[in-house]
Chain A
């Protein structure tokens, strides 16, 4: 009898690991091994055509002391990230508006959200056309309003290119922020507002004392998504500017791609990746820390 039970247990365990195996294999192949491999590669001189040689901190030294493009893309990534609050603020306004009990609010929500699931390559093409120097809609409006005499070549200007790309990125992601904030708003108990009203709190006070504090986890979640976005937004940059003009819109992720797959310096790109990842983990940790470890806490309830 005991033997039969143990046998059944063994079979069950086999089944469990058999079920887990394919997923674990995929994550091992495409997440864990690559991360470790990057670490190893970053301390080596290596290319597909020559054997590996120990390089110590050579690549890191090169990057930090001599590589201006690395620093430029580092700052661009930081600027990209720092622009997230603008998008979140817009999203908050929209979320508050669509949270009111008005007709057609679902239609409004859908329209605002619709740009998020769209293919980013297409978003890039749409926006580079809007920014077109001669016949782009944006320049047309600026010229019609008399704000600018001639067309501004937004994407070819080292001043405007990064903000221009950021605007396109905010346009795409704002709907996602809105959905997160809206979920947060809907989880705030209505009774709190009623109690505050009875106590004579003004609308602004209710917003400041109830809505904002209780929305904090959702807002932090939006920040985390903004951070992730600034590290992963490859497609938009590639299509709109390809990192140009002269690296004005280069992000770490586009720079890594360029170094690895255009210049073929896999070892140096691996070192860039490690620094990029460390930066990312640090920021994610910081955001989580600042939010008191509760980013997105409302959603998970």
Chain B
């Protein structure tokens, strides 16, 4: 099947990867540079690299406050997803009247992008008194259809005989769930955690709409706001950018396999 020599493929891929990495590098360089970031020509390597801008970000904006908000929202979303999706996924493995309609409903909900619901969703959140709150930011993301189906597929894959055997031995239902089904669904749980985390961590439009309070801003909001305040006049903006990128990238690199598996299975069904 190989038509080209290996070095040519390596060369091609090296060029592509360089193109993909340059934007990251450029921002990292700018954030570390000690010189005026507006001198021309721009330096390719950071001159007198130091961490001044990082310290600047830490003290000039409530970075820690933003971080806590982001983490709190992400925790609510992750816990919500794992628990609620597992429950719904389990229910869908059982037979009951109306199951077909519920599945149809879920599939058609998937066709509704969140972006087309923002106006009433804002009004509803206002009625619920959840504007400017962590729960308000987290709630719409707390259960995702893709992830319900990830759980359903995982539960369906557990051999019926195993569960029947446990039932005959008189093991109660809740214990079957916690002792047999949950431990056998670790990869579904991992997929849920990672997708939910990345979605909530990166979420921007929804918090932008419902958060007015400066104390409640999450990292992406803080970042966008910082951009409008300082425009692009300071390297601190790019230091902030790197500080926001790192946690997301770390988690992605650690759990790449589950992330990709979740995305491809979700995309296929969407």
Residues of A within 8 A of B (CB): 12-13, 15-17, 19-20, 22-24, 26-27, 29-35, 37-38, 41, 48, 94, 97-98, 100-102, 104-105, 108, 110-115, 117-123, 125-130, 132, 134-137, 140, 144, 171, 174-176, 179-180, 183, 193, 203, 221, 224-225, 228, 231-232, 234-235, 238-239, 253, 256-257, 260-261, 266, 269-270, 273, 276-277, 280-281, 284, 296, 299-300
Contacts and interface: CB of A to CB of B under 8 A. Distances in A.
B84 A125 contact: no
Given A98-B13, A126-B241, A260-B118, A19 B88 contact: yes
Contacts of B23: 115, 123, 126-127, 130, 171
Given A231-B113, A260-B119, A171 B27 contact: no
Contacts of A129: 26-27, 30, 232, 238
Given A37-B123, A299-B265, A119 B201 contact: yes
Given A16-B91, A32-B109, A140-B42, A41 B119 contact: yes
Contacts of A122: 220, 223, 241, 244-245
24 contacts: A12-B173, A15-B173, A29-B140, A30-B117, A32-B112, A34-B119, A35-B112, A100-B1, A104-B10, A105-B13, A113-B256, A115-B20, A118-B202, A118-B248, A120-B202, A125-B227, A125-B238, A132-B232, A203-B3, A232-B114, A239-B227, A281-B111, A296-B267, A299-B267
Contact of B205 (A31, A140, A235, A266): A235
A197 B253 CA distance: 38
Main secondary structure of the interface of A (DSSP, over half): helix
A31 B117 contact: yes
Contacts of A114: 20, 249, 252-253
Chain B facing A: main interface SS:
helix
Interface in B127-173: 139-140, 142-143, 145, 148, 173
